[in-house]
Structure 1
Amino acid sequence: MNTSGVVEHIVEWLKEYSLNSKTRGFVVGISGGIDSAVTSALAARTGRPLLCVEMPIHQAPSQVSRGRKHIEMLKAQFDNVSSVEVELTDLYEDFINAVPDTRDKDEAMALVNTRARLRMTTLYYFAGLRQSLVVGTGNKVEDFGVGFFTKYGDGGVDLSPIADLYKSEVYAIAEEMGVISEIMNAAPTDGLWGDDRTDEDQIGASYPELEWAMEFQKNQGDESTLEGRQQEVYAIYTRLHRANQHKMVPIPVCEIPAQLKG
C-alpha cells in the first residue's frame, strides 16, 4: 500500500466533501483507540475546523488518558483542532434508572448499545452547533465484514473516511502519521462494557484473522479446503456477517404498488 498516498487521498476527499457540502468542518469522537486516532489525525490535516470530543461513560482511565494525550498532540500540531470533554456517566445512569430493570440476558447488550447512542447524540449536538460533519471511525472489517458497531450509535455518521481500510492498513496509516505509541500498542476495544474485554474477546477472532476471512469470502474460496483454526474463524466471520446484515444494507422501504396509489 502506498501509505503516504492513501493519507493524501483521504485528506483531500474529506476536505472536498466538507467544502462541497457547505459545512464548516468536522466532529470526531475520540475513544483512545486506533481508529478514532487515525480518523481525527486525517481530519486535522484538512485544515478545516476539527472538534475532538471525549465522552467517557464509566471509562477505563487508560482509555481516557490515551484519548487526551492524542488530542493534545493534535492541538500542538494543528491550530484548527479544538476539543471538549463531556462526562456522560451520570446521564447514562439516569437512563438506567428511568427504564424498567428487566434482569434479562439481553439487557446488558441493550445498555452497551445505549452508551454508543448517547455518544452519537452528543456528537450531533456539537455538529449542529458548529455546522459540521460527524466523521465515522469504522474500518472495513467492522463496517462491512462482521458489523461490529452499534446501529445509530457509532454507525450514525455523515461520512466514513477509513471504511475501505482493513485494520492492518489503519495501523500502517497511524504509523505514517505518528500516532502515539500508547494507542498503537493498545489492544483494540470498543470500551463499551466498563471492563477490560477486547474486540477479540467479543468476536472470538483477531482482526488479521477476520481480514483473511473477508478476503476468502470475497474471492469465493472453497470452504471444503479449510480445517482447524481457519475453519473456526471462517465460521465466526460468516455467522456475524449474516446476523448483522441489517446494519450493513440500506433500510428496507415498503414500496407501494402503483395501482394502490392511483
Structure 2
Amino acid sequence: MQTQAVIDHIVDWLKTYAENARMKGFVVGVSGGIDSAVVSTLAAQTGLQTLLLEMPIRQKADQVNRAQAHMADLQARYANVQTLRVDLTPTFNTFQMTVDTDDDEHANEKLALANARSRLRMVTLYYYGQIHGLLVTGTGNKVEDFGVGFFTKYGDGGVDISPIAALLKSQVYTLAKALGVAQSIQDAAPTDGLWDTERTDEQQMGASYPELEWAMSVYKEHQAADFSGRQREVFELFDRLHRAMQHKINPIPVCAIPADLLQ
C-alpha cells in the first residue's frame, strides 16, 4: 500500500466532500481506539473545523486516558481542532432505569443496552454536528462495515461519511503509524467499549482481525469445505456473520403495494 498517497487521497476526499456539501468540517467520536484515532487525524489534516467528542459511558480508565491524550495531542498540533468531553453516563443510567431492565438481564437485554450506548453517542454526534454545521464522520473499517457487521445499526453505523471503510484493519494500523498515532493506542486491544466488563473485539466476534481479513479475501471464491481446522472454523464464522449483517447495509425493505389496491 502506498501509505502516504492513501492518506493524501482520504484527506482530499474529506475536504472536497465537505466543501461540496457546504459543511464547515467534521465531528468525530474519539474512543481511545485505533480507528477513531486515525479518522480524527485525517479530518484534522483537512484544515477544516474538526470537533472531537469524547463520550464516556461507564468507560474504563485506560480507554478514557488514551482518548483524552489523543485529543490533546491533535489540538496541540492542529489549530482547526476543538475538543469536547460529554459524559453520557448519567443519561444512560437514566435510560436504563426508565426501560426497567431486570437485575438478572437476559443476553438480548444486555446486547440491547450495549447498542443503546452506541445509539446515544450517535444522537450526541448529530446534535453537535447540526449546531456547528459539521459532518458526522464514521470510524468503521472494511472488515467491520462490510465483512462481519461489527457495528450498531443507527449507532456507530449512523454517519454522514465513512473515510476508512475501504481499508482493512491491518491497513488502518499502517496509516496510524504513518500519522504518528500514539503507541499506546496502536498497542491497545481493539474493543467497542460498549460493555461494563472488558470485551475485546476478538472475544465478541470469535476471531482476530487478521483471521477475518483472510476469510474476507477468500469468501467469494471458496466455500467452507475447501478448508479444514481453524481455517474452516473462521470461514464458517465469517459466513454466518456476513449473512446476518445484510439487514444493516441493505436498503430498508419497502412493501410494494399493487397499483389496483390503491385505486
TM-score bracket for the superposition, by shorter chain length:
over 0.9
Partner of 2:189: 187
1:1-262 equivalences under 5 Å are: 1-102=1-102, 103-218=105-220, 220-261=221-262
Distance in 1 (alpha carbons) for counterparts of 2:152 and 2:219: 23
| Larger mean Cα displacement after TM superposition, 127-136 or 250-259 | 250-259
Shift of 1:244: 1.5
4+ runs deviating over 6 angstroms: none
Gap regions ≥5 residues in structure 1: none
Percent identity (aligned): 56
Q: Which amino acid aligns with 1:174?
A: A
**TM-score normalised by the chain length of structure 1:** 0.97
Task: For residue 83 of structure 1, give the secondary structure of its aligned residue in structure 2.
Answer: strand
Distance in 1 (alpha carbons) for counterparts of 2:197 and 2:175: 28
Task: For residue 106 of structure 1, give the secondary structure of its aligned residue in structure 2.
Answer: helix
Aligned CA RMSD, in angstroms, stands at: 1.1
Shift of 1:17: 0.3
Residue by residue, what CA displacement relative to the aligned partner does 1:74-96 show, whole Å, maximum 9, x if unpaired? 11111000010000111101001
Aligned pair in 2 of structure 1 residues 104, 225: CA closer, same or farther (>3 Å)? Answer: closer
Contact kept, 8 Å, 2:224 with 2:236, in 1: the verdict is no
Contact kept, 8 Å, 2:66 with 2:184, in 1: the verdict is yes
**TM-score normalised by the chain length of structure 2:** 0.97
Q: Which amino acid aligns with 2:248?
A: K
Aligned pair in 2 of structure 1 residues 105, 222: CA closer, same or farther (>3 Å)? Answer: closer
Shift of 1:256: 2.9
Shift of 1:258: 3.5
Distance in 2 (alpha carbons) for counterparts of 1:32 and 1:117: 18
Distance in 2 (alpha carbons) for counterparts of 1:177 and 1:104: 42
